[in-house]
Amino acid sequence: INFDLTQKERLDLFQFTISSLENYYKRTEAYKVSPELDINEIVDVVRKHDFNSNLSPREAISTVIAALEKYTVHTPHPKYYGLFNPRANFSGIIADLITAVFNPQMAAWSHAPYAAEVENYLIQEFGKKFGYNAQKIDGTFASGGTEANLTAVLCALNETFPDYANNGLMGMKGRPLIYCSTEVHHSIVRAARTVGLGLDSVRIVNVNSDQKVDIDDLNSKIKEDLKKGNQPFMIIGTAGTTGSGVIDDLNNLSKVANKYNLWFHVDAAYGGAAILNKKLKNLLKGIEKSNSITFDIHKWMSVPMGASLFLTSNKEILGKTFRIATEYMPKEGNGLQIVDPFSHSIQWSRRFIGLKLYLSLLIFGWEGYEKTIEHQRKMGAFLKLKLEDSGWLIKNDTSLPIVCFTDEELQFNSSFTSSICQKLIASGKTWISVYPIGGINTLRACITNYSTNENHLEELVMLLNEERKKFQRKEEKVIQD
């Protein structure tokens, strides 16, 4: 078996694959946004190949691409308004291809010095963008926000409890506690479970009417826990909540953290990119006072999954948390002023994640991202205006392009939002979701795609208006009957 294939076969397959992918990339809008989900059919399509007989390379590639075209929610579609899954910019796609071919070993600096230094440079540049002191910036690339948030919890534990690395939770006198709002991403709960703290170590703080952390409730809960002999160690603020796009009062959260000497982490997985936009960056005021930041590159930076960045203003904490001595790791870097990536993160062997971001910045620069984020901000404002003009009620208050809305007269009808959402998704013409705001289910549309324009949004509002009319007529008929 020649895993390399021949040069002629490789060139043929490169050309064939690129041609097939280009056809999808340029025609993404021609597809239905979401497929019909027939699990039995999908399972049969996957399992009809038993691997006892093999396909030709072209047949195999065609099989996979055809199945993805048919059985995927097309998140690169400009009328996908769901989760933070944008269309990947082309430079990011090329970066993933380059990474796959070179397949650098990112555990040891000496095995991939260029790749390691690219990531070190990006960490420094983004740390400065967020306002950290250049001499104190450190960080690591991660697979996604979940890993970055887990890294934050581990760093907070190791900073607050010096014996944690050796004794773990067994050496603690009281229950260690994390404070975050009801709107925090669920990866924080997962992190607490993963490190052995458990769900009960996550103190959920109320939010006020604008969905931000209630500072008074936070202070009250910390004081109460201290009286009980518990050990608060971490506060988490969110910069761009997953549901409604709200940014917590980071300045006041930092003051509370300082008051009680707690680690202050900002989950800016989504909203962090606002720092690159002149009209939005002030929304992140106070983030520079944090101990650490989670920032997902694969969200607003529009690169392929998965790419996240963990930043910290504590130069020593990653080494303190993850450094470990081994006999089998390469020693070529000994004596050099370098840090081996494996001693700085949860992952050991991993992809060259940073190239997707580096190549994109090389080609488009800061200005390119400034303009892209500004376009999406404008599209969010345009959608809000069109919805209000059509009599929809906006329920969230954010400058980020996330709109949560409902009908004022129908908002208390338990089936209204779910019915509208299901109808739109089933049509294949768009994809939206449902999210509760203040106990009321709302329809949620998030603009994550740089190619989404006003025509797409006008079509969305038209579809919403049509389905609302149908629902109203159906309700009227039920009343009459």
- pLDDT tens-digit series, residues 397-432: 999 999 999 999 999 998 999 999 999 999 999 999
- Cα–Cα distance for residue pair 294/148, rounded to 1 Å: 6
- What's the token pair of residue 327? 């006999």
Picking from 126, 165, 428, the residue whose alpha carbon sits closest to that of residue 284 is 126
CA atoms of 470 and 427, how far apart (whole Å): 14
Listed range (15-29, 177-191, 391-405, 419-433) with the worst mean pLDDT = 177-191
pLDDT score of 478 more than 80: no
Q: What is the pTM of this model?
A: 0.93
d(CA 454, CA 444): 17
The answer to whether the beta carbons of residues 271 and 245 sit under 8 Å apart is: yes
**Domains with residue ranges and CATH for the chain:** 105-351 (3.40.640.10), 362-480 (3.90.1150.170)
Burial level of 166, CB count in 10 A (0-12/13-18/19+)? Answer: exposed
* Of 262, 280, 242, 252, nearest in space to 146 by CA: 242
pLDDT in tens, 213-233: 999 999 999 999 999 999 999
Exposed, middle or buried: residue 125 (CB in 10 Å: 0-12, 13-18, 19+)?
Answer: middle
* Average pLDDT over every residue of 4-8: 93
The pLDDT tens digits of the residues spanning 149-175 come to 999 999 999 999 988 888 888 778 889
Edge-to-edge order in the sheet of strand 433-437: 392-394, 402-407, 440-446, 433-437
- CA distance to 269, 366, 479, per residue, from 352 (Å): 19, 21, 61
Tokens at 297, concatenated = 């590159």
CA nearest to 240, candidates 402, 29, 447: 402
In DSSP terms, which residues pair with 443 in a beta bridge?
405, 434
CA 334 to mean position of chain CA atoms = 36
Output the pLDDT for position 476.
Answer: 80
Flag whether pLDDT at 453 surpasses 60: yes
**Measured CA angle at 236 (ends 230, 239), to 5 deg:** 165
Q: Note whether 21 and 97 are within 8 A (CB).
A: no
Report whether 176 contacts 197 (CB < 8 A): yes
- The owner of tokens 């997962």 is 190
Tokens of 165: 């690395």
Q: Contact at 8 Å (CB) between 69 and 30?
A: no
Q: pLDDT > 90: what percent of the chain?
A: 80
Q: Decide: 62 and 274 in contact? Cβ < 8 Å.
A: no
pLDDT at 329: 53
Does residue 335 have a pLDDT over 70?
no
Residue 318: partners with Cβ closer than 8 Å, 6 or more residues away? 138, 139, 140, 151, 155, 312, 344, 345
pLDDT digits (tens, 9 = 90+) for 378-404: 999 999 999 999 999 999 999 999 999
Residue 25: both structure tokens together: 């990339």
**Is the pLDDT assigned to residue 46 strictly greater than 90?**
yes
CB-CB contact of 360 with 301 (8 Å): yes
391 vs 404: CA distance, rounded Å: 14
